[in-house]
Amino acid sequence: MPTFSRTLLLAGLLATAATATASPVANPFELPKCQIPPGIIITQCRKPGVMALGYDDGPYTMTLELVDMLDAAGAKATFFWTGTLYGCIYDHVDAIKKAYASGHQVASHTWTHPITLDQMSKAELTEEMEKLENAFANILGIRTNYMRPPYLMTGGEVMPTMGELGYKVITLDLDSGDWDGVTTAAESARRFEEAGTSGRGHIPLVHETYESTVRELTPWIIEWAAQNNLELVTIADCLDDPSGPYVTVNATGDGQMTC
């Protein structure tokens, strides 16, 4: 975690030591709930016993199937969606609405998923974000405050712009490797096993656009998490973010339902 969280942890431990009497010692992994400032890179959950799956690059043809699978298991996830990477976001309205209604977190992965994100100007980055927010407003009536940058690019004007726009920037601390075209679902599973279940919860990078991830890896993750008493939650939940995943749930878009 960034220096911000380590500072909170130290402060909490010092306060505990200063007032130590008969009261129980606080779990050092359980940081007090507090506002999480925008414009910082977040890689890991703030508490143990949880894992926050972050699915990138949708919505896609398997989104509804994935949502149904997660719902059947009582699991939550975060969907980092784009506007036009795999067709138009408005072609997947039913799946988007079901994911949101089921309590999964909706977050931004930019409008076009540019490969030159870290070379873009503030104006260009803002346009990428605002176009997608307009779509979220049109479809769900929300405005998000979480994003994951394409290719995990955080250089150039990315972080200053995201900070000004109020976004909490998520990367990862566990890469499934499903994106490389080589790693199998079984190999991805081994990465989860090697990462383990102790300490603060993981924020893995997975993609809903690969059949093996949706139909092989995700069922395995659900079972593995249950065997290890890990709760699958949204990223906002795993961070104990008191402001929640959205700026507002009463946003109004321009009403245009086409890309």
Q: Which helix (H) or strand (E) holds 147?
A: strand 146-147
Amino acid (one-letter) located at 170? I
Q: Which residues have C-beta within 8 Å of that of residue 183, sequence separation ≥ 6? A: 176, 177
Among residues 104, 113, 202, 207, the one annotated as catalytic is 207
The residues that bridge with 168 in the sheet, in sequence order, are 146
Angstrom distance (rounded) from CA 235 to CA 244? 10
Among residues 56, 57, 178, 241, the one annotated as catalytic is 56
Backbone φ, ψ for residue 80 (5° rounding): -95, 100
Angstrom distance (rounded) from CA 149 to CA 64? 23
Nearest to 144 by CA among 92, 183, 106, 194: 106
DSSP 76-141: --EEEE-SSTTS-GGGGHHHHHHHHHTTPEEEE--SS--TTGGG--HHHHHHHHHHHHHHHHHHHS
Angstrom distance (rounded) from CA 242 to CA 231? 19
Angstrom distance (rounded) from CA 20 to CA 42? 31
Active site residue 207: yes
Q: Where are the alpha helices (DSSP H) in the chain?
A: 3-18, 63-72, 93-101, 122-140, 158-165, 185-195, 211-212, 218-227, 235-238
Active site residue 92: no
Residue with token string 């999964």:
104
Residues belonging to the active site: 56, 207
